Amino acid sequence: MNELAAASPTVTAALGLVLAWLLVGGLGLVRPNKTGWIAHVLFPLGAVIALGVAAIGTTTWLPAFVTQQMVLPLGLPDLPFHVRLDALSGFFLVLLGVAGTGISIFSAGYFRAGEGTAPGLLCLQYHVFLASMAMVTLADDAYLFMVAWETMALSSYFLVTTQHRLPEIRRAGFLYLLMAHVGALGILLCFGVLHGGSWSMTFDAMRAGTLTPFWMSMAFLLALFGFGAKAGLVPLHVWLPEAHPAAPSPVSAMMSGLMLKTAIYGLLRVGLDVLPIGPWWWGTLTLALGLGTALYGVVFAAVQTDMKRLLAYSSIENIGLIMAGIGLVLICRCFDMHVLAALALAAVLIHSFNHALFKSLLFLATGSVMHATGERSLGKLGGLIRRMPWVAAFALVGALAIAGLPPLNGFISEWLLLQAFLQTPHIPHAFLNMIVPLGAAVVSLAAALAGYVMVKFYGVIFLGQHRENTLVTAHDASGLERIGLAWLALVCILIGAFPQIALDAVGHVTQLLVGAAAQRGPSWWWITPVATHQVSYSGLWFWMGLLVVTGVTFIFVRRFYRGRVRRTAAWDCGYPWQTPRMQDSAEGFGQPIRHLFGPIFKIERELPRPSDAAPRYRIQIDDRVWLACYQPLGRVLQRVTENLAVLQGGRLAVYLLYSFLTLIVLLVCVL
């Protein structure tokens, strides 16, 4: 152990930090109901460790860094745990650390006693969840990977069901657990295919193994299924909109911001690193699924009336964009277009990072809103910018970033993805070079719809009049919560202003996986991923231009026209009687989308009659995938199990007969 540790100090440090997380979690159990101790000591400690994890990840960007491997004296006899730190796992450790820091600081101010699970137990589950995600990225053999993966699924299940007294939350948790295990089964089978009869579980052995093309494709499809179920690829996305609203907001932030990214990590590890270069249809399949998922997610997000469900569908959209990028990487890699593959992979990685930031930020903001108002339904919020100015300001950064608007970070990754699509007509394949560029149309449509969704999200929650009188008493987030939100918003702005740093950072990963890196600019504040004369973007100059022009306009207007302002009632075309009910509700804002994309939804509507004294309008929108795929499947399963239940007669003699018959059959087989 000692000589190995000396050889790979960074991995040892990373493992030490993982242990520290577990320790902090364990300390929570010492006095499980002492909120002050847990909130003001343990969670901030977890945040500091998260920063350390991020720092460990950044060491992989140093020029002197070489991949480090290590064998742990843990695990089963003859099957020790292997860990490894390379550029890919380093990048995801940074992602985990940076976003985890913000979430942990926020959680310190968020979790309170008396909300389901005791705070001490929650602290343990929370830190085990973080530690298991770190271990997923560090694992270098299938065995440790699956152990960490399952720990992650279980700890997050317990976190989702924090308020386990409510039956709908238990139901949502069960659905999540079920989908997590169906996905894990796919991954397990994928590893089963990959070891190729060698029975060696290390990724190194799998890389060296030779598979027939059929089994290679089999392994890829299983990985796509398994990791797709975790990431929320349509049609495996059904658990996301159920689990996210059920979980406490920091947990939703971790699941959406971080856990979905471990699935992306897994797919990149298996699809680009462990598996050799495959046929081009792997890429087209992933691309098509990704584009479909993006469009599906964003259209459903636009019609949601629950703010956390809306964000969950928006996560599905972002995962779709990331998957589309991975598809592009796979296609380019199979035609030996390394630079283009590197560009697409850079877009994938930066978008994963960005999504971890702004989606955590928005989920945490909904947490503050829920604490302040006790409401999750958009129809009962409104006007919170005046009651919660801090949360509103940070949420605005998150909303603008997720809508892909320059000069924030969401724009950078979407820009890179579009640039990658623009180069696809050069693919040396007569069919692909015409179809793939059209994917850009879907990407831009999804990005534009994301803007619609975010205006709805932000406008209905924070702007306008209070839709309920009780909102007048809403209070702003606590100090620690604000720091957590501010941290995430700050990183969003910084990546938007310095995209070249992000591009440099992912350059190491693209070098590792596809053997090339996207070009940077001639000077450090430019990015020119394709070629200097062709395209360039400078986040810093963009920010400065915007600030300077806004400032000059402001000064001029103020200087020449004194700032006389009179406050009065809203004009509203002179209508004298205005109530908050006259604003668009969440349903109303989604109406154009329901109208345009009607066939996608299953809509049930209840309209009031003109004579109704208390008119009520109700609309319910269901996911057709759930009705078309999962309900029939559930029914079939139910019927099969009912028939099988005949075997379970409840009589001991019959059970003994089963054992006896099995024994006979086995004996016959052996002999």
Neighbour tally for 633: CB within 10 Å: 10
Shortest distance, CB of residue 294 to other proteins, whole angstroms? 12
Q: Residue 282: which residues within 8 A CB-CB, separation 6 or more?
A: 217, 220, 271, 330, 334
Shortest distance, CB of residue 384 to other proteins, whole angstroms? 10
Shortest distance, CB of residue 377 to other proteins, whole angstroms? 17
Neighbour tally for 319: CB within 10 Å: 30
Sign of the C-alpha dihedral computed for residues 198, 202, 208 and 214 taken in this order: positive
- Which CB sits closer to other proteins, 75 or 437? 437
- Which CB sits closer to other proteins, 434 or 627? 434
Query: HEC string of 360-399?
Result: HHHHHHHHHHHHHHCCCEHHHCCCHHHHCHHHHHHHHHHH
Shortest distance, CB of residue 235 to other proteins, whole angstroms? 24
Chain centroid to Cα 41, Å, comes to: 28
- Which CB sits closer to other proteins, 25 or 496? 496
- Which CB sits closer to other proteins, 53 or 474? 474
Shortest distance, CB of residue 520 to other proteins, whole angstroms? 15
Contact assessment for residue 134 and residue 96, using Cβ atoms and an 8 Å cutoff: yes
- Which CB sits closer to other proteins, 153 or 460? 460
Shortest distance, CB of residue 459 to other proteins, whole angstroms? 4
Q: Residue 107: which residues within 8 A CB-CB, separation 6 or more?
A: 43, 46, 126, 250, 484
Contact assessment for residue 275 and residue 204, using Cβ atoms and an 8 Å cutoff: no
Shortest distance, CB of residue 591 to other proteins, whole angstroms? 8
511: Cα within 13 Å, side-chain hemisphere: 16
Query: How far apart (Å, rounded) are the C-alpha atoms in residues 432 and 507?
Result: 26
Shortest distance, CB of residue 342 to other proteins, whole angstroms? 18
Shortest distance, CB of residue 304 to other proteins, whole angstroms? 15
- Which CB sits closer to other proteins, 80 or 406? 406
- Which CB sits closer to other proteins, 434 or 640? 434
- Which CB sits closer to other proteins, 567 or 651? 567
Query: How far apart (Å, rounded) are the C-alpha atoms in residues 98 and 105?
Result: 11
Shortest distance, CB of residue 425 to other proteins, whole angstroms? 5
Shortest distance, CB of residue 467 to other proteins, whole angstroms? 9
- DSSP conformation class of 634: H
> Rg for the chain (alpha carbons), in Å?
26
- Which CB sits closer to other proteins, 161 or 538? 538
Contact assessment for residue 152 and residue 144, using Cβ atoms and an 8 Å cutoff: no
Backbone conformation region of residue 538, classed left if phi is above 0, alpha if psi is from -120 to 50, else beta: beta
- Which CB sits closer to other proteins, 584 or 622? 584
Query: How far apart (Å, rounded) are the C-alpha atoms in residues 424 and 663?
Result: 60
Shortest distance, CB of residue 139 to other proteins, whole angstroms? 38
- Which CB sits closer to other proteins, 69 or 536? 536
- Which CB sits closer to other proteins, 570 or 671? 570
Tell me the pairing of strands 618-623 and 601-606.
Answer: antiparallel
- Which CB sits closer to other proteins, 569 or 671? 569
Shortest distance, CB of residue 589 to other proteins, whole angstroms? 5
With both helix axes pointing from N to C terminus, report the angle between 43-58 and 87-110 in degrees, rounded to the nearest 10: 160
Burial 538-549 (b: 16+ CB within 10 A, else e): bbbebbeeeeee
Query: How far apart (Å, rounded) are the C-alpha atoms in residues 149 and 180?
Result: 10
Contact assessment for residue 5 and residue 12, using Cβ atoms and an 8 Å cutoff: yes
Give long-range contacts, CB 8 A cutoff, 24+ apart: 27-31.
27/123, 28/119, 28/120, 28/121, 28/122, 28/123, 28/124, 28/127, 29/120, 29/121, 29/123, 29/124, 30/120, 31/120
Query: How far apart (Å, rounded) are the C-alpha atoms in residues 58 and 120?
Result: 31
